[in-house]
Every structure is written in structure tokens, then in C-alpha cells.
A and B are shown apart, each in its own frame.
Chain A
């Protein structure tokens, strides 16, 4: 499934997600819906993410890596989620069911890149060729 197909599927089933964009590790736009997204989405997502990392870092205890951020804006919420080296950001309706929205975004990321080989998939075949 392509990124655009995964985004279309998610927008078709979710009544809470209004807009979303999938970004690569460098913040480049890989896909968006509805419509297209410009590079400003990547920059704004990176800005939010670094503020969230700083917020977690200042919390007590040993923080694990940040996985998602949800900020309630009253009439909407902004959600950012990272997985597999990619990031997905979304604008939702007010008071979204967070568990469901996070699950849907994770599923979208998984579906979009499910056909890709990871370094772990490639490593054994390379090792077999070595004498």
C-alpha cells in the first residue's frame, strides 16, 4: 500500500481526523490529505517535536524516547506521532478519542510502509553471501 492510499483509507474511516501529513526523518513531506502539504508542515512539526522532547527531558526520572505528542487547542487538537523513523502529524476535531486517533495514525504509518524492507530484513541475505 502506498502512502497516499494509507492516508486515503484513514481519512475514509476516521471521523475525528481532519488533515494529516506523513513526513520522513528529515521532515520532508511523503504524503498528505486532503490535498497537498508544503515544507512548512515539516518545519512546524519539527518545532513542536523538539519542544515536546525538551518538555519530557525536563520531567523527573529517566525519560524514554518521545513517541507521541497531543496538544489540545480547544476547538481542535494537534497530534504528532513517530514510528519507524517517520512522523505523522494530524489536525483533529475537538476532544478526539485519543486512544483511537493514536491507533489510527500508527496503523496508517504501518500500512504506508509495510512493503518496505528494513536493514534487518536485508542483513541475513548479505551475510549468507559472505564466505
Chain B
């Protein structure tokens, strides 16, 4: 009986943990998001060759914003 309870609790914890991990993975933001005027979005994945260029220019903009003041 006790073994059965432990097994059920263990199974429930495993299922919950897997669900949380799945949700976190799904919610992870894309490295870059481009929104068009018609409401459509283009997400650039980490291995997208366009991302390096965007990141470099975003770093420049960040530096410009941070030196403001």
C-alpha cells in the first residue's frame, strides 16, 4: 500500500515536472522578433544568419541609449 502511494506520488511529480519544462521551453523568447504592420511576426532563431547582424546593431543602439543623459 505504502509502495503504491509512493509510486503514484512519484508519477504525479514526474508528469508535473515534464509539463513545467515543456511550458518553459515553449515560453522561451526568440532572440529576435520582427513585427509587420499587418500583425504578422517573424521570429529569428538562434542559428538564423540574420541574427548576428541585428544583434550587432542592437548592441550599438544599446550603447547609444546608455551613454545618453
Residues on A close to B: CB < 8 A? Answer: 19-21, 32, 34-38, 40-41, 43-45, 47-48, 51-52, 54-56, 58-59, 63-73, 76, 78, 80, 89-91, 95, 98, 102
Interface of A is mostly: mixed
Question: Which chain A positions have C-beta within 8 A of B53?
Answer: 51, 55
* Residue from B32, B35, B36 having most chain A Cβ neighbours under 10 A: B35
| CB pair A71 B37 closer than 8 Å | no
Scan residues 15-69 of chain B and give those whose CB is less than 8 A from a CB of chain A: 29-38, 40, 42, 44, 50, 53-55, 57-69
Contacting A72 at CB < 8 Å: which of B29, B37, B68? B29
A20 vs B68: C-alpha distance when bound (angstroms): 10
Instruction: Given the known inter-chain contacts A34-B69, A41-B64, A48-B54, please indicate yes or no for A66 contacting B37, CB distance below 8 A.
Output: yes
Do A48 and B57 touch across chains, with their CB atoms under 8 A apart? yes
- B34 contacts A56, C-beta separation under 8 Å: yes
Q: Which residues of A contact B38 (CB under 8 A)?
A: 64
Chain A residue nearest in CB terms to B40: A64
* Size bin of chain B's contact surface: 20 to 34
Nearest CB on A from B58, distance (A): 4
Q: Report which of A38, A51, A69, A71 forms a contact with B67, defined as CB distance below 8 A.
A: A38
Cross-chain pairs A/B with CB under 8 angstroms, 28 sampled: A37-B64, A38-B68, A40-B67, A44-B60, A44-B64, A45-B61, A47-B61, A48-B58, A51-B54, A55-B53, A56-B34, A56-B42, A66-B34, A66-B35, A69-B33, A69-B34, A70-B32, A70-B34, A71-B32, A73-B55, A73-B58, A76-B62, A78-B58, A78-B62, A89-B61, A90-B65, A91-B65, A102-B35
Residue of A nearest to B43 (CB): A70
